[in-house]
Amino acid sequence: MTHELLTKLNLVNHPRIVTDFTGDETPEKDNIVLSYNPATGKPIAGIRLDSQEDYEVVTAKAAKAFKEFRKIPAPKRGELIRRIGNAYREVLEELGSLVALEMGKIKAEGIGEVQETIDITDFAVGLSRQMYGITMPSERPEHAMKEQWLPMGPVGIITAFNFPNAVWGWNAMLAAIAGDTCVWKPSLIAPLTAIATNDIAQRVASEMGYEDIFQLVIGTDAIVGESMIADRRYPLISATGSCDMGRHVGSVVAGRLGKSLLELGGNNAVIIEADANLDLALQSTVFGSVGTCGQRCTSTRRLIIHESIADSFCAKLVTAYESVRIGDPLDSNTLMGPLINEQSVAGYEHAVKTACEQGGTLLTGGTRVTNLEGDLATGHFVTPTIIRAPEGNNLPMALDETFAPILYVFTYKTLQEAFDMQNDVVQGLSSAIFAGSSNAAQRFLDPCGTGSDCGLAYVNLGTSGAEIGGAFGGEKDTGGGRESGSDAWKAYSRRQTCTIGFGETLELAQGIRFE
Ligand code: NAD
């Protein structure tokens, strides 16, 4: 199965891939990184790591290619992106399966992730004729003013392991439509998906005569990562990952006065009012917290529920959690796959233990899965977990983003109390409210900002599963970046304010005379 998939995606005998593993053997070379299947804990393939010299070659090519690519009219770039979208359509199932194999999310979510990349290609094609600048009146006679958005340069794209295809898609498709070239530094945890994804885009670009538009550099943070973020040839570094990573990357890029677009961690909450549609709230909360085994930046990590319905809702939630089918992500019956690796399992166990020591009550889960057989017996499976906070809602562990399926439950009396609790974390990515009353929903979305302080706010929907049409991202320690839809493309462009005189006399702004 694995070999067949890798063959279909042209990954067998690939120059970057050192070995396809069929058994338990591990290569001894230290200049390769292993891609593992988290459902078995076994390696899938070894990938050659790029060196400092490789990085230099790739960056020089991206800088050179930019000088030509920026001359291509934006609608023609749109033609490139349209063809790339079609090429992904042809391998939607295979690429989605590779995401599932290497990252461990279930196949339906893997396919959904690739669909997101296809969606952003469609969006980018439309944008290629709509990257509007505005005009404004000049204060001077016989003068005109306008703003235009120009290609910027090579963009460095650093991605997290959990969306090994779509996060690049969001960035690269917008960067390319804006006239930029892209150099992708993927997570070393999911390099195979990156190779397959990037190869397809660059193959299509090459067929159209555009070389080196989409490049990949697979290397360590110390060698390749640090070189990239400090490199002035990248006017923009778009980095997706943990808050710690973003703090470091953001400060290095700012130190050279470059731009960074940071998409970092979340600690997302769902608020449930007593008059909400509780069936809807239940389904959404389970999907939000259990989906992708709690490894989405937008996963629901906290449930803030009106005290009058907390007991009955928690009982239903426990029943739903205990019926979640855990297993092989590629099996269509599975609802929850594994965590990514043993480090992640240790983080999960630590969070459960600490939360219980802090007074939390374990309602369900909290353990490794031990009843899976065959190859899955060595996978990184855990049970979805619910921990109820003690009276007074004091549970410091819940303030951290643990990248695992743990849901902490808090109760409230007044809506303001719920908003305060929801906003009382350092991250500000996604938030949701389930409410029957439109007043409660509107207060959550208060245009004066007294409701949710997050970049994403949902009403009668869970915290995860964003559409590509809106700008995606969050505030506070989530980094403030916006990717994907709306006007996120502007981050990949250089703004220029143009003033054009068409008279015969010198007119100075602010009425200054200089004669
Ligand atoms: P991570 O921070 O460990 O790694 C993310 C990326 O940063 C990787 O490619 C890594 O190699 C790179 N990196 C780390 N140090 C670097 C350095 N010094 N220089 C250059 N690159 C460096 O994150 P992860 O474990 O892969 O992903 C999980 C995290 O990502 C979670 O916190 C999650 O919330 C977040 N995330 C956020 C979003 C979002 O859009 N807000 C989306 C997906 C994931």
Tens-binned pLDDT, residue by residue, of the chain (515 aa): 788 999 999 999 999 998 755 555 555 567 899 999 999 999 999 999 999 999 999 999 999 999 999 999 999 999 999 999 999 999 999 999 999 999 999 999 999 999 999 999 999 999 999 999 999 999 999 999 999 999 999 999 999 999 999 999 999 999 999 999 999 999 999 999 999 999 999 999 999 999 999 999 999 999 999 999 999 999 999 999 999 999 999 999 999 999 999 999 999 999 999 999 999 999 999 999 999 999 999 999 999 999 999 999 999 999 999 999 999 999 999 999 999 999 999 999 999 999 999 999 999 999 999 999 999 999 999 999 999 999 999 999 999 999 999 999 999 999 999 999 999 999 999 999 999 999 999 999 999 999 999 999 999 999 999 999 999 999 999 999 999 999 999 999 999 999 999 999 999 999 999 98
pTM of the predicted structure, to 2 decimals = 0.97
Q: Which residue minimizes the CA distance to atom 24 of ligand 1?
A: 160
Q: Which residue minimizes the CA distance to atom 1 of ligand 1?
A: 241
d(CA 416, CA 424): 12
- Looking at the domain covering 52-264+479-496, what would its CATH class be? alpha beta
| 297 Cα nearest atom in ligand 1 | 34
Centre of ligand 1 from the C-alpha of residue 99, in Å = 17
What phi, psi does 11 have (nearest 5°)? -100, -10
- Topology of 268-468 in CATH? Aldehyde Dehydrogenase; Chain A, domain 2 (3.40.309)
Centre of ligand 1 from the C-alpha of residue 278, in Å = 34
* β-strands 135-136, 143-151 pairing: antiparallel
Q: Which residue minimizes the CA distance to atom 7 of ligand 1?
A: 241
Centre of ligand 1 from the C-alpha of residue 53, in Å = 24
Q: What tokens appear for 180 in the block?
A: 């930029």
Q: What is the pLDDT of residue 101?
A: 98
**Contact predicate 114/95, CB 8 Å:** yes
d(CA 112, CA 137): 46
Q: What is the pLDDT of residue 28?
A: 54
- Ligand 1 contacts CB of residue 264 (under 6 A): yes
Tell me the DSSP string of 162-182: SSTTHHHHHHHHHHHHTT--E
* Domain spans of the chain, in order of start: 52-264+479-496, 268-468
Q: What tokens appear for 407 in the block?
A: 């849901």
- Ligand 1 contacts CB of residue 158 (under 6 A): yes
Tell me the DSSP string of 17-50: EEEE-SSS-----TTEEEEEETTTTEEEEEEEPP
Beta-carbon contacts of 330 under 8 Å, excluding residues fewer than 6 positions away, are 1, 39, 97, 100, 101, 107
Distances (CA, A) of 462 to 120, 161, 208, 243, 270: 22, 22, 41, 22, 7
Across the chain, how many H-helices and E-strands are there?
14, 22
Q: 């953001």: which residue's tokens?
A: 250
Q: What is the pLDDT of residue 1?
A: 72
Centre of ligand 1 from the C-alpha of residue 430, in Å = 17
Burial of 495 (0-12, 13-18, 19+ CB in 10 A): exposed
- Ligand 1 contacts CB of residue 358 (under 6 A): no
The residue among 114, 422, 164, 402 whose CA lies nearest residue 265 is 402
Residues serving a catalytic function are 263, 297
Q: What tokens appear for 232 in the block?
A: 């002035």
Q: What is the pLDDT of residue 419?
A: 98
- Centre a 10 Å sphere on the Cβ of residue 482 and count the other Cβ atoms it contains: 20
